[in-house]
Structure 1
């Protein structure tokens, strides 16, 4: 049976090897790596932070040490690729390519270089928060080999006007027999299997089985209830460290009406600001003294949404400490276990992941399977890590021509945002 009539044959025919940018969980559990999402780039001396033609700084997105890719690819064998992009999601597809995104390649970059501090005029990358941060949270990347498959929209459409009548007849002789066309039924069968095939490829690459579905809000509240044991006491009871307090307070101050209670937002906001000031008196990894812990537990217990707050505080702490192995190791195993499902970037029905090379997933119309453009990087929305791409549901992809990649010329890379809405 040919590829046009057999979904399995389609998957075999169009399978393309790629680099999965895997985020280990817990973040300190993976091997030492120089590659990471977010945080600060280790730009070599003399390499300026990219800006648009009007002088606006771009946001740093990812740093890939090419030497860490564990198998031969068409990417450089050594050196570091730095990816930058606009924080405004609407600018990517309207501004000139150099103003939307930029890729820098440093052949002799060293992991020993000091992280470059972000420009003072760099705005927060996402929605403003109570405590703005102008950089994305850092998360280590482990590059892995995995298989990719195209979207069904990347296949030739047999209903296209130029495939009708005499053009379709001639194609039988000058290009390929008509039997190689992909029928509508086979396109539907392929599309139905695509999510499961991608999930299976991720399991093969990572050895980790994703949950059947993402964590629901109710499950996250249950997880927070597991962490906040009202009967527990002592130095191991929540909140053990000020980081948890700090991040749940930001949640309260960002959404005062949600956590207002019967007394209204005023009183709780004032108390939250007082505790936030206490959290800033020293490093966030410092332990919470027993008196403060008991006072905080009493105050948190007055919230109907206490488990939700606890969960959000833990997620915020994990996100902020992921790029620092020493701090990430301070989070207890039971807290990681309670929040684990929220940090899977994909599940078996709708895989979500970031990659280099291969077939880049697309929310709408994908590039044709015959398009020679190369996916240099594709980053998917990951709400657990704070990646909000194209209205919180899409992905951004960097494209390069084969000729430019062969020349190691990354000055003409084009970036596109693809939203789900």
Structure 2
């Protein structure tokens, strides 16, 4: 609405729809204003002859295909094959010549490695000529970007080009002061089972994931200004249809698979410790994750509830605080003991049957000793919730660790994992793989593709999307709030291979 019209509608001495507001009863004032706003809300302003034309479906489709750009896109290798021998992959550590220098922020903090692309492995596509013919592009990020520090977006050396040499490449040893994934202040949110362990041994590198590359046409999500604004909704619908069809050419038909069923919820089952899979805990990582989550539950909810003396409903709890607290302390000691055993045995090693039975006996004993089936941190309801969280976490870790570790992944998890490694999934599965790409039209979350547009008067200063890394449950990457990390470079810097001048944006919902 134009400001003059809004001011007129809200001015008690102004006319509304041609009628004077002077002398109207007070009770009718707000109703008249509401009528004015309602009558003008859907009415465009200015000369109708100057309105942009309304767009039909065929016009929109023609525009989409006329302005489409080809992009190099990435697909997870599932199930993974070991060893990962190619030089294009996500996570892990960079593979580079001996003279490689790990990039750092202005304060000296090392960046975290995200991905690398071997330019010699890139497919042939429309914009391929703008990228180096050979060499490896290494992509890093500084976690200050995640904390909202705007100036960190333009810090140099987020991208490093390793040129091919006669010397063999090797996996680069990370700096001793490399911060954990997501940064020291945020790692506990992404690896919650490690927060209350004796050693906060947060991972400093993501799991290494082999990726296959292909070519897909990408369409701009933004509704073009030359089309009538009333076409915006239909433009979005057609964009989704056309983009999905393009993605299917490379990724295949949407995946349909069964997710891991949740715990049984009838009255008797809710009071029973249930196994999420037939082999759980399959690997020692399952026991470490479960016990770490149990520590978090007891320390952050159970003991604090005793200190308050009330349950979540405000009722006095427990009847014997000293006894329950002593039982909690004993359970914490046992959980820490299991964690130490897990680390000594090797986290991705199989759990012997005797240890598996001893672990389950401990859970059942805690449930039997719980003083109620809802509030007590030892009750089956809580233990089952932790078990289901654990089996999902452990399956991802084992799947990416090695051939032997991947064999520990429960069969019941494979359908869910397949969907999490797929870009196109049928139905409303919320944890699909991200849409990663080089060049082309990127994902528009909070407007970064719109802001990085043609600079006035100089096409060479226009930004292009060098790489897009999307939130991806298979890595797992959680980028902002289900957002996207994008690397931008000007056309002139791209042609000059000035990758040290790349800028980054991180946006979430």
Fold shared by both chains (TM-score > 0.5)? yes
Offset of residue 279 of structure 1: 0.3
- Quick check: 1:92–1:415 contact (8 Å CA) kept in 2? no
Alignment-derived partner of residue 377 in structure 1:
467
Uncovered stretches (5+) of structure 1, i.e. residues with no partner? 157-180, 230-236
Q: 1:146 to 1:416 in 2, by over 3 A?
A: same
Q: 1:310 to 1:112 in 2, by over 3 A?
A: farther
- Quick check: 2:248–2:424 contact (8 Å CA) kept in 1? no
Structure 1 window deviating more from structure 2 (291-300 vs 305-314): it is 305-314
Alignment-derived partner of residue 446 in structure 2:
364
Residues 381-400 of structure 1 aligned to structure 2 (within 5 Å): 381-390=471-480, 392-400=481-489
Offset of residue 292 of structure 1: 0.6
Q: 1:98 to 1:248 in 2, by over 3 A?
A: same
| Equivalent of residue 141 in structure 2, options 76, 80, 85 | 85
- Structure 2 CA distance, aligned partners of 1:90 and 1:152? 27
| Equivalent of residue 97 in structure 1, options 154, 158, 178 | 154
| Equivalent of residue 408 in structure 2, options 306, 315, 331 | 331
Q: 1:225 to 1:199 in 2, by over 3 A?
A: farther
- Structure 2 CA distance, aligned partners of 1:183 and 1:138? 46
| Equivalent of residue 123 in structure 2, options 67, 70, 93 | 70
Structure 1 window deviating more from structure 2 (262-271 vs 48-57): it is 262-271
Q: Does 1:289 align with 2:343?
A: no
Q: What are the superposed Cα offsets for residues 382-406 of structure 1, whole Å, 9 maximum, x if unpaired?
A: 245331222x221111011222222
- Structure 2 CA distance, aligned partners of 1:36 and 1:9? 35
RCO higher in structure (CA 8 A, sep ≥6): 1
Uncovered stretches (5+) of structure 2, i.e. residues with no partner? 1-52, 195-200, 265-272, 304-317, 319-323, 368-379, 455-461
Offset of residue 318 of structure 1: 3.6
Q: 1:117 to 1:310 in 2, by over 3 A?
A: farther
- Structure 2 CA distance, aligned partners of 1:245 and 1:277? 10
Q: Does 1:228 align with 2:280?
A: no
- Normalised by the length of structure 2, the TM-score is 0.66
Offset of residue 140 of structure 1: 1.8
Alignment-derived partner of residue 316 in structure 1:
393
Report how many aligned residue pairs link the two structures.
381
3-state secondary structure, aligned to 1:385: coil
Offset of residue 275 of structure 1: 0.7
Q: 1:55 to 1:31 in 2, by over 3 A?
A: closer
Offset of residue 202 of structure 1: 2.7
Alignment-derived partner of residue 78 in structure 2:
25
Q: What are the superposed Cα offsets for residues 264-287 of structure 1, whole Å, 9 maximum, x if unpaired?
A: 754433322111110011322322
- Structure 1 CA distance, aligned partners of 2:155 and 2:140? 10
Residues 14-413 of structure 1 aligned to structure 2 (within 5 Å): 14-28=67-81, 33-72=86-125, 73=128, 74-88=130-144, 89-91=146-148, 93-95=150-152, 97-98=154-155, 102-108=158-164, 113-126=169-182, 127-128=187-188, 129=191, 130=194, 131-152=201-222, 155-156=224-225, 181-210=226-255, 219=261, 227-229=276-278, 237-256=279-298, 266-301=329-364, 302=367, 303-332=380-409, 334-340=411-417, 341-344=419-422, 347=425, 352-368=434-450, 371=454, 372-390=462-480, 392-413=481-502
The CA RMSD measured in Å over matched residues stands at: 3.4
Q: 1:59 to 1:307 in 2, by over 3 A?
A: same
- Quick check: 2:207–2:397 contact (8 Å CA) kept in 1? yes
- Quick check: 1:39–1:323 contact (8 Å CA) kept in 2? no
Q: 1:16 to 1:383 in 2, by over 3 A?
A: same
Q: 1:124 to 1:404 in 2, by over 3 A?
A: same
